[in-house]
Chain A
Amino acid sequence: MSDQNPIICQEFVEEVTVYLEGKLSEAEARWTDEHLAQCEHCRAYLDQMRSTIAALHGLSEPGVDPALRGRILSQLP
């Protein structure tokens, strides 16, 4: 059965975002999960992608400086 699996590693790295967004078709998602179950390298790649996304979210620190907020709010006539 898994011999029929059309997902290969080079395709997985192009589909990883669609996979993470939950936008693969049911069949594609199943093939992808099967592929991941047998391919530690693609699992590592997926983990790297997840870590990257989490780290990017950690960049969002710059809060809005209250002085800037004040200047913006005072622009209203």
Chain B
Amino acid sequence: MVEALRRGDPDAYARLVDELTPALLRLAMAHVPSRAVAEEVVQDTWVGVINGIDRFEGRSALRTWIFGIMLNIARTRGKREKRTLPFSSFRRRAEEGSDEPAVDPDRFQGRRDDQPGAWASPPAAWHEPERKLATNEARRVMLEAIAALPPRQRDVIVLRDVQGYSAEDARNALDISQTNQRVLLHRARSKVRAALEETLDMEALSI
């Protein structure tokens, strides 16, 4: 593939563009305020690929390298347009490695209760989740929850759950370890679930 790109082979280029552009676009949209800007970022990414392929040394996977180019461009654009972003950047500092519980500890029994660590305020069964989670309201809640995540959690959940990448492909694209990939995914998923639980009336018989 790399050789074909260096030769300027249009079929190889088109195949790679078709394979990676949807995920690049989705991930770019998580970093910049609008789809239009995200499309520019992705377009510039492919310019970067064409111009840089001769310097690509193969030390990382081709996919990792391309996602890296995109994330650099997206972060630069995102910074420039930060004021219009729907979430505040101070959250980024509250980031990624810190130990955040998946569920508010107050929802479990405490040490003095009968069964420490068992649910005190348990989750209710969701009623017709497929239908309710396909509504515009649910989409909005999910997109806002994703936008509020620290960037690396956002990148992982977008690739894994939105785009359907395998764990291996996601970790290659983002150049992170297997464990790190899983921890970031876990935090991100837990927060999106919590946002849905808090915001939507998922137990109601109809919405």
Interchain CB contact (< 8 A) of A17 among B22, B126, B186: B186
B130 touches A51 (CB 8 A): yes
What class of interface size applies to chain B in its complex with A? 35 or more
Residue A1, interface by CB 8 Å: no
What class of interface size applies to chain A in its complex with B? 35 or more
> Taking beta carbons and an 8 Å cutoff, which residues of B are in contact with A?
8, 10, 13-14, 17-18, 21-22, 25-26, 29, 35, 39, 42-43, 46-47, 50, 101-103, 105, 108, 115-119, 122-126, 129-130, 133-134, 138-139, 142-143, 157, 161-164, 167, 182, 185-186, 189-190, 192-193, 196-197, 202
Q: Chain B contact residues: over half helix, strand or loop, or mixed?
A: helix
Counting residue pairs across A and B whose Cβ atoms lie within 8 Å, the total is 140
Residue A31, interface by CB 8 Å: no
* Bound-complex Cα distance A9 to B119 (A): 6
**Nearest B residue (CB) for A52:** B193
B161 touches A51 (CB 8 A): no
